[in-house]
Amino acid sequence: MTQHDSDAIPQRRVLVTDIPGPRSKELASRRGRAVAQGVSSVTQVYVDDAAGAIVRDVDGNCLIDLGSGIAVTSIGHAVPAVVQAVGEQVARFTHTCFMVAPYEGYVAVCEELADLTPGGHEKRSALFNSGAEAVENAVKIARHATGRQAVAVFDHAYHGRTNLTMALTAKNFPYKDRFGPFAPEVYRAPMSYPLRDPEGMTGEQAAARAIDQLSVQVGADNLACVLIEPIQGEGGFVVPAPGFLPVLASWCAEHGIVFVADEIQSGFARTGAWFASEHEGVVPDLVTTAKGMAAGMPLAAVTGRAGLMDSVHPGGLGGTYGGNPVACAAALAAIRTMRELDLPAAARRIEAQVRPRLESMAKQHAAVADVRGLGAMLAIELASPDDLRPDAGAAQAVARTCHANGVIVLTCGTWGNVVRLLPPLVIGDELLEEGLDVLERAVTEVLR
User: Which chain residues interact with ligand PLZ by CB under 6 A?
Assistant: 70, 130-132, 135, 158-161, 229, 233-234, 262, 264-265, 290
70 or 248, CB closer to ligand PLZ?
70
Measured CA to CA, the distance from residue 13 to residue 56 in angstroms comes to 9
CB of 71 to ligand PLZ, least distance (A): 7
CB of 232 to ligand PLZ, least distance (A): 7
> Using an 8 Å Cβ cutoff, are 397 and 391 in contact?
no
DSSP 284: -
> Using an 8 Å Cβ cutoff, are 248 and 191 in contact?
no
The residue type at 338:
M
CB of 331 to ligand PLZ, least distance (A): 14
Query: End-to-end CA distance of the chain, in Å?
Result: 36
Pure H helices in 161-218: 163-168, 203-217
> Using an 8 Å Cβ cutoff, are 310 and 52 in contact?
no
38 or 314, CB closer to ligand PLZ?
38
CB of 218 to ligand PLZ, least distance (A): 22
Best CA proximity match to 188, nearest among 219, 226, 147 = 226
CB of 109 to ligand PLZ, least distance (A): 16
CB of 322 to ligand PLZ, least distance (A): 13
The verdict on whether omega for the bond into residue 198 sits within 30 degrees of 0, i.e. cis, is no
Measured CA to CA, the distance from residue 327 to residue 52 in angstroms comes to 20
CB of 435 to ligand PLZ, least distance (A): 21
**Region at 252 (left for phi over 0; alpha for psi -120 to 50; beta for the rest):** alpha
Measured CA to CA, the distance from residue 426 to residue 432 in angstroms comes to 10
Relative orientation angle of helices 104-116 and 325-340, to the nearest 10 degrees:
40
Three-state secondary structure call for residue 117 = coil
119 or 292, CB closer to ligand PLZ?
292
Report the b/e string of 162-192 with b at 16+ CB within 10 A.
bebbbbbbbbeeebeeeeeeebebbebbbbb
CB of 17 to ligand PLZ, least distance (A): 28
Measured CA to CA, the distance from residue 260 to residue 223 in angstroms comes to 12
161 or 441, CB closer to ligand PLZ?
161
70 or 402, CB closer to ligand PLZ?
70
Best CA proximity match to 93, nearest among 402, 329, 265, 340 = 329
> Using an 8 Å Cβ cutoff, are 199 and 392 in contact?
no
233 or 416, CB closer to ligand PLZ?
233
Relative orientation angle of helices 244-254 and 203-217, to the nearest 10 degrees:
40
133 or 197, CB closer to ligand PLZ?
133
CB of 130 to ligand PLZ, least distance (A): 4
231 or 432, CB closer to ligand PLZ?
231
Residue nearest to ligand PLZ (CB): 131
CB of 219 to ligand PLZ, least distance (A): 26
> Using an 8 Å Cβ cutoff, are 157 and 210 in contact?
no
59 or 234, CB closer to ligand PLZ?
234
CB of 20 to ligand PLZ, least distance (A): 21
151 or 220, CB closer to ligand PLZ?
151
150 or 260, CB closer to ligand PLZ?
260
